[in-house]
Amino acid sequence: MMIHFILPGDTLENIAEKIRLENPVYLKEFHNQHCLKEDRIVDHLVPGKKLLLPDFAKIKVYNDKNDAPFKSQELNPKIVFDPIGFDEKFKIKIKESSNAEGKISEKSFSYIASLQWIKNELGEHLFHFTKDQFSNQHETKMESLAIESMKSLYPIEVFVNFKGEILRTALKKETLNNFKQIKERLIDLFPDKYAKIYLEEFEYVVLNPDVFGQKIKEDWFLKNYFSSFRNPFENGKSFFEMYLDKTLLNVQQTAKLTDSKEEILLHQTLKSKEENQDDFTGNVTVFKNNGMIDSLNAVYSYKEFSVSYSTEFSIENI
C-alpha cells in the first residue's frame, strides 16, 4: 500500500494514470476499503487529505479485469472498408485564411464531389472521382480556366488498397487519347496569351502520369476520405499519418459514444502539439456497415514567417 497526499487539482483519473491503474474506479474502491470511516471518499477528493493507493501487484490484479472504460468495444470500433456498389455525391466547402500582423485575407469556395466504386481487381478498389458545380467567392478568369480544364479530365481514376488508403490516381485512356481535342476546345474558350501559357503547363502535367498523380493526390477530399484513419484502435485510441499542405501530420483519434446503430463518430487531433506547431482537429462520421465517410469537418492551421494560415474543410453527403 502507498500513501498520496491529495493536491489541489488532483482527480481520480489523473492519479490513476500516474500509477498506471487503467480503471480509476478501483482507486476509490481500494481507498474506501482500507481507510478509516471518516476518511472515505464520497464525491470529490479533498486537498490535504491522504489517499491510499494500491501497490503494483494489486494494480496488476485490477488491470487484468480489462474493464477500463477506454477498453470498451464502443470506444475501440473496428472500421471496415467495404465500398462495393458505393456511388455518392458530397458537398465540399473550403475556407482558407491568412493573418499577417492583423491583415486578414480570406478565400472560400465549394463544389460537388462524386465518388463511384467501379471494381475490385488484384486487391485494389477502383473509383471514379468527379468535381462539379464550383462556387468561388472571388472568381477570376484564371480560376475559371483552371476549373474548366480540370472538368475536361473527369472522371479521374482513383485506386485504393483493401484498407481504404489511396495508392495512385490516373486519367482514363479515352481522356488521354482525346487530349488534343480537349486542349483545342479550351484554347477556343480562353483565347489569350496567358491562357495559352497555362494550357501549356496543364498539358505537361496531364501527359506526365507521375506529375499528374502527385497533383491529384494533393486534393483535400481524396486525402481525407482515403487516409489511414481506418487503422485499428487500441485502448481507446487509433493513430495515422496524413499529409496536408505538404506537411506530415501525426494524428490520433478517439471514438465518441453515440446511440446510433449505423454510424461511428470519430474525433481527431494531433498526437502531440507544441507551441507554434501545426494544429489540426477533425470530426468524422463513418458508416458502420462499409467504413465510408458520411460527413467530416476539419480545421488545419500553421504559422510560417510570422504569418498564420488556416484552412477549414468540410464534407457532407448529399
Q: The pTM is what? A: 0.79
Give CA–CA dist 316/89, Å, rounded.
9
Max mean pLDDT among 58-67, 129-138, 295-304 falls in 295-304
Query: Domain boundary residue among 177, 205, 225?
Result: 225
Indicate if 139 and 194 belong to the same structural domain. Answer: yes
Query: Domain boundary residue among 179, 200, 225?
Result: 225
Please provide the DSSP assignment of 291-302 as one string. Answer: --EEEEEEEEEE
Q: What pLDDT score was predicted for residue 78?
A: 94
Residue-wise burial string across 40-62, b where 16 or more C-beta atoms lie within 10 A, e elsewhere: ebeeebeeeeebbbbeeeebeeb
Indicate if 117 and 55 belong to the same structural domain. Answer: no
How many domains does one find in the chain? 3
**Helix then strand then coil, % of the chain, to nearest 5:** 25, 40, 35
Q: What pLDDT score was predicted for residue 138?
A: 58
277 CB contacts (<8 Å, ≥6 apart)?
Answer: 270
Judge whether residue 58 has pLDDT over 90.
Answer: yes
Are 270 and 278 in contact by the 8 Å Cβ rule? The answer is yes
Indicate if 117 and 150 belong to the same structural domain. Answer: yes
Beta partners for residue 129, in sequence order: 115, 156
Judge whether residue 137 has pLDDT over 70.
Answer: no
Write out pLDDT tens, residues 162-192.
999 999 999 999 999 999 999 999 999 999 8
Are 164 and 226 in contact by the 8 Å Cβ rule? The answer is yes
**How confident is the prediction for the chain on average, in pLDDT?**
92
Q: Please name the helix (run of DSSP H) or strand (run of DSSP E) that holds residue 114, with its range, or none.
A: strand 103-121
Indicate if 275 and 311 belong to the same structural domain. Answer: yes
81 inside domain: no
Indicate if 293 and 180 belong to the same structural domain. Answer: no
Domain of residue 263 covers 231-317
Q: Let me know if 220 is exposed, middle or buried by CB neighbors in 10 A (0-12, 13-18, 19+).
A: middle
82 inside domain: no
Indicate if 286 and 258 belong to the same structural domain. Answer: yes
78 inside domain: no
Q: What pLDDT score was predicted for residue 25?
A: 92
* Summary count for the chain: helices (H), strands (E): 9, 13
Sign of CA dihedral 185, 191, 196, 199: negative
Indicate if 100 and 187 belong to the same structural domain. Answer: yes
Indicate if 309 and 184 belong to the same structural domain. Answer: no
79 inside domain: no
Give CA–CA dist 239/250, Å, rounded.
7
Query: Domain boundary residue among 225, 260, 280?
Result: 225
Residue 176 vs residues 3, 96, 185: alpha-carbon distances, Å: 74, 32, 15
Indicate if 242 and 210 belong to the same structural domain. Answer: no
Supply angle C-alpha 231, 234, 239, rounded to 5. Answer: 40
57 inside domain: yes
Indicate if 149 and 25 belong to the same structural domain. Answer: no
Helices (H), the chain: 12-18, 25-34, 56-63, 141-151, 173-177, 179-189, 193-206, 209-216, 220-225
Q: What percentage of the chain has pLDDT greater than the value 70?
A: 97
Give CA–CA dist 248/243, Å, rounded.
4
206 inside domain: yes
Indicate if 109 and 200 belong to the same structural domain. Answer: yes
204 inside domain: yes
Indicate if 237 and 217 belong to the same structural domain. Answer: no
Q: Which amino acid is at 312?
A: E
54 inside domain: yes
